[in-house]
Amino acid sequence: MKKRDLRNLGLAELEEFALELGLQRYRGRQLFHWVYGKCVDSLEMMTDLSKESRELLSENACISSLLEIRTQVSSDGTKKILFKLEDSHTVESVLIPDEDRLTLCISTQVGCGMGCTFCLTGKDGLVRNMKSSEIVNQVLLVQKGLQARRGITNIVIMGMGEPLSNYNNVTKAIEILKHPLGPAIGARRITLSTAGLVPGIKKLGECSLNINLAISLNASTDEQRNLIMPINEKYPLKNLLDACRKFPLRKGRMLSFEYVLLEGVNDSPDDARRVSKLLKGLHCKINLIPFNEFPGSTYKRPSDGAVFKFQEILTDHNYSVFIRKSRGRDILAACGQLREKINLPFEQ
Ligand code: SF4
């Protein structure tokens, strides 16, 4: 019988697994705490289980991990970590220190099938969905490598892949990350960013995860968005924004709209005015992201003047608008620059 990977099981599944092995149900809870809370990699370390139970487990279970192949540190302190998965594919996570936060950006797919034209990750399409264990392991491994006094405070699910097209594994991973017996990262400190998969947004709104939602908007008309983000042909702006209007927001929370500014494409004052109309009535903030150029990219980064003008128009319409500092630009760790291949120029 193939050994079960404990890191691929949620709490209820671990309880079931304990019963299957003839152990008591509460042993599943202990396993959960060891595997996700105490983050052990060996069954031998589970000292509150009897020797017999540990032997039984080692015959039937294992604990997966990821192999850290490289960590690059940017001049601004941002770290990009390249992980190798079991089948030799690689994914990246980015750790972003700020004054009072330590944010980890995690990946959910190998490659991405959304085909956004400004994004390096999506260039080669989708390879496969990541398992929940692979999603959670990014957090556990990075956390383990940190000094105890400064742990990860925030998780953004904005790395490689479209999280809502790997819905089951991503939501299972979030359940685990939130759990008090696991990494215990609060729901308000977890943000999922989507390119706009409307059915996924609806489903996420109906479940009980209560995490923050960010939408990658990036255009002010359907025509423009169809060109930049092909997913818009299936779920045009009206459908997307309707789903956003229906998304339940907890007290004190707001939606985030991400807007990558591309010179001469979506960065004009008219675009800003149209965005302001589109988002009317939504309780939201807007993050402007001046495009991060990468080798071979056809788009250009707008001038600072154009970025400030865009911000000013939206601010004048009473939106909270932030210009996102590009972090890790020198190591291609910035938004839209993650790519799984290990033969990129910066890694040679
Ligand atoms: S921007 Fe996000 S959704 Fe679009 S191709 Fe890149 S990784 Fe996929």
Domain ends where: 62, 86, 108?
A: 62
**19 with 165, same domain?**
no
| pLDDT value at 329 more than 80 | no
Is residue 226 helix, strand or coil? Answer: helix
Residues 111 and 9 in one domain: no
**Active-site residue, 62 included:** no
Question: 258 an active-site residue?
Answer: no
- pLDDT band at 343; cut points 50, 70, 90: very low
Same domain, 25 and 80: no
Of the given ranges (111-125, 145-159, 321-335), which has the lowest mean pLDDT? 321-335
Do 174 and 304 belong to one domain? yes
Return the higher-pLDDT residue of 153 and 327.
153
Could you tell me the maximum CA-CA distance found in the chain, to the nearest angstrom?
70
Are 36 and 71 found together in one domain?
no
pLDDT (tens digit, 9 = 90+) per residue, 222-234? Answer: 999 999 999 999 9
User: What is residue 50's predicted lDDT score, i.e. its pLDDT?
Assistant: 92
First to last CA, the chain: 42
> Is the pTM for the entire model greater than 0.85?
yes
For 73, the enclosing helix (H) or strand (E) is strand 67-73
Task: Return the bridge partners of 289, or none.
Answer: 260
pLDDT at 292: 84
* Residue 106 · residue 93 · CB < 8 Å: yes
Q: Which of 105, 112, 244, 335 is catalytic?
A: 335
- pLDDT grade, residue 347 (50/70/90)? very low
Q: Between 324 and 82, whose confidence is greater?
A: 82
Q: Judge if 209 and 335 occupy the same domain.
A: yes
pLDDT score for 114: 95
Kindly give the number of the ligand 1 atom that is closest to the alpha carbon of 112: 8
Same domain membership, residue 96 and residue 18:
no
> Do 18 and 84 have their domain in common?
no
β-sheet bridge partners, residue 62: 5
Identify the CATH number of the domain in which residue 328 sits.
Answer: 3.20.20.70
Q: What is the pLDDT of residue 262?
A: 96
* Structural domain that includes position 19: 4-62
Cα–Cα distance for residue pair 47/28, rounded to 1 Å: 14
Q: What is the average pLDDT value for the chain, to the nearest integer?
A: 92
- DSSP β-bridge partners for residue 94: 80, 105
Do residues 114 and 179 share a domain?
yes
Among 120, 128, 130, 162, say which to mutate for ligand 1: greatest number of ligand atoms within 8 Å of CB: 162
User: Number of structural domains, the chain?
Assistant: 2
Whether the CB-CB separation of 178 and 187 falls below 8 Å is answered with yes
245-293 per-position pLDDT tens digit: 999 999 999 999 999 999 999 999 999 999 999 999 999 999 999 998 8
Q: What is the mean pLDDT of residues 70-85?
A: 92
Task: State what percent of residues in the chain have pLDDT above 70.
Answer: 93
Does residue 156 share a domain with residue 24? Answer: no
What pLDDT is attached to residue 331? 55
Band the pLDDT of 326: cuts 50, 70, 90.
low
Distance 154 CA to ligand 1 centre (A): 21
Most confident residue range from 120-124, 290-294, 309-313: 309-313
**Distance, CA 292 to ligand 1 centroid (Å)?**
14
Contact by Cβ (8 Å): 334, 292: yes
Handedness of CA 184, 186, 187, 193 (dihedral sign): negative
Write down which residue in 62, 86, 105 finishes a domain: 62
Q: Are residues 148 and 38 in the same domain?
A: no
CA–centroid distance, residue 159 to ligand 1 (Å): 8
Residues 150 and 254 in one domain: yes
CATH of the domain at 13: 1.10.150.530
